[in-house]
Chain A
């Protein structure tokens, strides 16, 4: 029944996305593990981890698209939920180090020993258990989003004001996590991970498994987001985006619908962060930097907001470009290129890569399309 709910009205675009991600999920780890390093089809482990990172970003982009593209909530703080999920995973990985740390303390992570802490703070309890840590990956961002959204949406904070307070939220967390006495490793964050579920995080097979898990969660996240947006709830959410007070006069409690998608989206961002951390090997407060959240908005805008698939595509395209640009002689110009890209997309491709491609395709098929409504103002 759940499968049917998740797969209802699957369209062509979504189908292609699922097939592509599933193919990558199987092929990339196989090409990495089975082929010798000399083979032209061999995928180096570093490339695989890099693409794993992109796919984590794709999941983050889908989560942002759910609230921005469909509900009109322009969150400039989604990086905070991503980072919280990452920290929850990082705390589990720290506890797995055990007595192999520099100071050899079986319970306390190195940075706590360094700070002369005598015992594990209460909020670190339970993180040696993988299921508990995974629960926290969902709960920490979800709970924050719920409490934050409960106040913001009930007080009817919308538009640019909401964007500003989401930005303030992630900035406040950035400052908080920088502090050593918060107990999250200060500005060094959490790193030097050894094992995940008993497997060496650095090992090639573990990396392949993490890549595979990322693809699986990307598919799951996409299916969850899609089943939400195609349901009647999704129609209500779009109605809220386009005419909030009209929706209220129809008897819908706008704040509860916003709260629902915002919380689901935050949990999804948390999962993306949790998969990101073991693949890059570190989580530190810079993940809370407001610029990260803004970059996420750019991925979604570039790919095409309100499409889900486009958001994922945008995340991969922009980050691939970033890797290419920042590793050569063009490195100093990356931020300029990113800014120019955003301006270009806003001016000339307001529907993003996917929306523009679709428009061109439709134009080719039927020369005189029905007048489409004005695009909603980009909040």
Chain B
């Protein structure tokens, strides 16, 4: 963690400025600027190829930007850290396709995500303390998988896997959660429950939600950023954004 620069450069939790990245000549992100305040929940929408997932890759260290600033907590330059270091700073990520550890039980999935020292020695001699066991129980309760704790995660339904992954994010207890399409492949009932769960989480965490489902965004009722061709097209409340002519044009292809 020697990437920190002395002094707070910005009060935002996450600060992206002029970020660009090119893959084989294709500009996935061009001059993207975005700030997330502490405790804020933000929805990000945009058509396919708008750069939503690439943006998450940049924030979590999977992709390095060609140019631009990515700062976390005001003074930490994320472009100089790798995935594990960024995760340990307190940025958690849920993938578009639910990614859980299929061969582990649900409980072990949560245990692996649980905020705890990540070193080789500490994990080799790990003993789950009572407080940690209780935290695991609580999370299993929140994601409604308490009864299934001993089942292997591979046997879960798609919707349950999404929830398990949200549970893993909760266990990580990050400062910032990046949630990629949490409602994808869910029934309407599950989608509504997921919205409630995310709103609950947003009370004490900052959250960025990438979603296609407008109904879901409406239920969240938060500020929306529209991405298009790797840059911000519009920003504001959903009603204002969806009335924006450029946004309508991009979405409907007129």
Residues on A facing B (Cβ under 8 Å): 5, 228, 231-233, 235-236, 238-239, 242-243, 245-254, 256-257, 260, 370-374, 376
Contacts and interface: CB of A to CB of B under 8 A. Distances in A.
B124 interface: yes
Contacts of A232: 111-112, 123-124, 126
B123 A236 contact: yes
Interface string B109-120: 001110000111
B160 to A, nearest CB: 13
Given A248-B87, A250-B172, A257-B123, 18 more contacts: A232-B112, A232-B124, A235-B104, A239-B104, A239-B112, A245-B83, A246-B95, A246-B99, A247-B112, A248-B82, A250-B112, A250-B113, A251-B84, A251-B172, A257-B120, A260-B124, A372-B154, A373-B152
Interface of B: 60, 62, 82-84, 87-88, 92-93, 95, 99-104, 108, 111-113, 118-120, 123-126, 151-155, 168, 172
Contact of B103 (A5, A246, A251, A376): A376
A235 B118 CA distance: 12
Contacts of B172: 250-251
Nearest to B151: A370
Pick the most buried of B60, B92, B124, B126: most chain A CB atoms within 10 A of its CB: B124
10 contacts: A233-B126, A236-B123, A239-B101, A242-B102, A242-B103, A246-B101, A249-B92, A253-B118, A372-B154, A373-B154
Contacts of A247: 112
Contacts of A239: 101, 104, 112
Contacts of B123: 231-233, 236, 257
A236 B172 CA distance: 15
Given A231-B125, A251-B118, A374 B104 contact: no
B118 A231 contact: no
B99 to A, nearest CB: 5
Contact of A236 (B95, B99, B112, B153): B112
B210 to A, nearest CB: 15
B126 A231 contact: yes
A200 to B, nearest CB: 41
A149 to B, nearest CB: 13
B99 A243 contact: yes
Contacts of A260: 120, 124
B77 to A, nearest CB: 18
A251 B152 contact: no
Contact of A242 (B88, B93, B101, B124): B101
A235 B154 contact: no
Contact of B120 (A233, A246, A248, A249): A233
Nearest to B89: A251
Contacts of B125: 5, 231
B25 to A, nearest CB: 24
Contacts of A257: 120, 123
B71 to A, nearest CB: 20
Pick the most buried of B60, B83, B153, B168: most chain A CB atoms within 10 A of its CB: B83
Given A250-B113, A251-B118, A373-B152, A231 B124 contact: yes
A372 B124 contact: no
B179 to A, nearest CB: 13
Contacts of A228: 124
B154 A245 contact: no
